[in-house]
Amino acid sequence: MSVTTTVLFQRPQQEIATLIRDRLSRSVATRIVTGFATPGGLAEIGGPILANTGSLETFVIGASTYPGFLALDNLLAAGVPMDRLHVHLGFSAPSGTPKNPVVRYHPMLHSKVYYMELPASRACAFIGSHNVTAFALGGSNGEAAVLIEGDVHAPEFAAVRGHINEAERQATPYSPTMKEGFSWWFKEYVEGLKAEIRMPTDWAIVRTILAFSHIQGGRLPKTGDTIYFEIPAGIEEIESLKTEVHLFLYDTMPADPISAINAISSASRRYTCQTIGVENGQGNREVSVDWIIDGSWALTPVPSTTFRPSTPAGMQQVRAQVVDTSLPSYEYAFERERTGWDPVYSEVDIIDVSDSSLSDDVARREARGDRKINTWRLVTSLEPRSGSQLEADQTALDRAIPESGAFILVSLRRRRFSGKQGG
C-alpha cells in the first residue's frame, strides 16, 4: 500500500488545472476542500464534474463572493445534489462592542485538498496552497503543492479522508437562499482584515534631527550642555522652528544607520536636545560648546568648551542644547506621507496567459467584468506615486536619510509610541 509523492512545482507559477482535470475525468469519487473559490476557479475544474455530477461527494469551501456562490448554484442546476456542498464559516467570538458585535477577522478554513478515488482501487490527492481560483489553478499565483498517488487503502489517504471528514463536519450545508448571508459573512471578514492593517494616522509632520553616536570618555552630557555637529548644507527649517535633536548613544556603534534605527531601544542613553544655532558653509570659526560629534561619530567632550571647526564643503554647522536626559519613544519617517505607491515591474519575470490552457475566458478574468489581462509582470519593488510632492530642499535631505550612510539624519515625520525610554 505504498504511495508516491510528486512535488508541484519547482517554480511557484505553474499551471495545475490540467493535472486536476485529468484525474477528475477518471474519478469515481471526488472530495474537495478549499479555503476560497471563485467563478473562474470553478470554471477551471468544473468540466469533468459537470460531465459526471454523481462523482462529486464533498465540496467544502471556506469563503467565496456572491458570483462564486452563483457558480455553486450552477453545479446544483447541473445535477450535483445539494447535500454535497458545504460552507465552512470559520470560528468567531462576541466582540463586546455594539458597532461590530462579533469578531470579524477570525480563524478561517484554509485547507486546500483535492482528493479523488480512481478505478482499480487507486487514489490521488493534490495537497498544497491552491484555492479553487483561476489565478491559483491557472499558474498566475505563486503556489506549491504535492501530488500523492497510490493504493486507496494506504494510511496516507486515510489521514486525508479524515481531514476532509472533519472539515465537512464543521461546515454548514450550502443553500442558494443563504448565498447573500454567506457573502456578507465573507465581506465582514475582509472588512475586519482591513482594520488589522492598522496603517498609522497619528504622524506629526515635524522635522527632527537624529544623531547616533558612541561616547568617548567617562562622563555623560547633562541638561544645559551644548553639542556641535554638522549636517548637509541646504537643509532648511532647522533653526527657525527650534528643531528637536534626538541623540542616541551606544556602547558599541551600530554597523550602519538602518541598524542604528532598529537598535534605538538598546541605546545606552537617549537625550532630547534643541537647536540653538545653525551656520551654513564655514560659519563660525570658533564655537563655545561642551561636546562635539566628530567624523567617527564619537561624542567627544570639549575640555575648554572652545572648539574651532573645520567644516567640509557642502556641510553646515549645528549647535544643540540638551533639554532633557530622557526621550519619549518615537517612530521616524524620512519621506512625506504618500497618497499611494506605484509598482516597479520586472522585464524578465512575466506570466503570459494568452496561450494558456485555461478552460474558459471567465477563468482569465477572475470576475473582473469585461477587463481581460493576458500578461502579468513580477512586481520587484514599490516607489512613491508619480507626481508626489517633494520637499524644496529634497536634494540636501537625500544626504541625511538612512540610505546615505550618515549617522546624523533628518526625519520629516514622527509618531509617538506609548511608554517612555528612560535616560
At 374, is the pLDDT very low, low, confident or very high (cuts 50, 70, 90)?
confident
Q: 356 near 44, Cβ under 8 Å?
A: no
Q: Flag whether pLDDT at 278 surpasses 80.
A: yes
Residues 413 and 272 in one domain: yes
Q: 216 near 298, Cβ under 8 Å?
A: yes
Residues 168 and 237 in one domain: no
Residues 114 and 187 in one domain: yes
Q: Identify the domain boundary among 173, 197, 221.
A: 197
pLDDT digits (tens, 9 = 90+) for 14-51: 999 999 999 999 999 999 999 999 999 999 999 999 99
Would you state the pLDDT for residue 390?
Answer: 78
Choice among 104-113, 230-239, 374-383 with the minimum mean pLDDT: 230-239
Residues 84 and 210 in one domain: no
H or E segment at 378?
A: strand 375-384
At 212, is the pLDDT very low, low, confident or very high (cuts 50, 70, 90)?
very high
Residues 63 and 189 in one domain: yes
Residues 281 and 141 in one domain: no
Question: What's the CATH code of the domain at 8?
Answer: 3.30.870.10
**Spatial separation of the C-alpha atoms in residues 41 and 358, rounded to whole Å:** 10
Residues 254 and 182 in one domain: no
Q: Flag whether pLDDT at 386 surpasses 80.
A: no
The answer to the question of residue 263 being in a domain is yes
Q: 133 near 141, Cβ under 8 Å?
A: yes
The answer to the question of residue 120 being in a domain is yes
Residues 150 and 265 in one domain: no
Q: Identify the domain boundary among 172, 197, 222.
A: 197
Global pTM reads 0.81
Q: Which domain range does residue 141 map to?
A: 3-94+101-197
Q: Which of 102, 81, 88 is nearest to 131 (CA)?
A: 88
Residues 186 and 56 in one domain: yes
Question: How many separate domains does the chain show?
Answer: 2
Set of cell numbers at residue 377: 509582470
Q: Identify the domain boundary among 197, 217, 245.
A: 197
Would you state the pLDDT for residue 420?
Answer: 45
Listed in sequence order, the DSSP H helices in 3-148 are 17-26, 39-51, 66-78, 134-137
At 362, is the pLDDT very low, low, confident or very high (cuts 50, 70, 90)?
low
The answer to the question of residue 43 being in a domain is yes
The answer to the question of residue 117 being in a domain is yes
Question: What's at 251, amino acid-wise?
Answer: D
**pLDDT, mean of residues 73-79:** 95
The answer to the question of residue 216 being in a domain is yes
The answer to the question of residue 349 being in a domain is no
At 102, is the pLDDT very low, low, confident or very high (cuts 50, 70, 90)?
very high
The answer to the question of residue 321 being in a domain is yes
Q: Which of 206, 265, 193 is nearest to 237 (CA)?
A: 206
Those residues whose C-beta lies under 8 Å from the C-beta of residue 180, and which sit 6 or more positions away, are 66
Residues 66 and 105 in one domain: yes
Q: Flag whether pLDDT at 127 surpasses 60.
A: yes
Residues 169 and 312 in one domain: no
Would you state the pLDDT for residue 295?
Answer: 86
The answer to the question of residue 387 being in a domain is no
Residues 22 and 43 in one domain: yes
- What is the overall mean pLDDT for the chain? 90
